[in-house]
Amino acid sequence: MDSFLSLDRLPKHEKAWVKAVRSLESQSGLARQLEDIGFVPGEQVQILSKAMIGGDPMVVRVGQSTFALRQAEAQLIEVSSEP
């Protein structure tokens, strides 16, 4: 895995750590929502499954919580293979 990549590109079941939530100014509300539900720097993240067609949505575990995310949301989350 590259040093940094967006969450949507993380292989299923591979563990990574959140580095940042990125967004355009018009998406700042969405970035804040992702941070509020646990996508904060240092938190462990893992994709548990993806939809059969197109991989959207995907089931993601962050910390001890599990969420369904759309690919557009997962693209905002920057992850790293190292904590």
pLDDT by residue for the chain (83 residues), tens digit each?
Answer: 446 799 999 999 999 999 999 876 766 788 889 999 999 999 999 999 998 887 789 999 999 999 999 998 999 999 998 88
Determine the pLDDT at residue 57: 92
Is residue 50 a contact partner of residue 37, using CB atoms and an 8 Å limit? no
State the amino acid at position 23 in one-letter form: S
CA distance 15 to 47: 8
Into how many domains does the chain fold?
1
Q: Which domain holds residue 25?
A: 4-80
CATH (domain of 56)? 2.30.30.90
Residue 31 main-chain phi, psi, to 5 deg: -60, -40
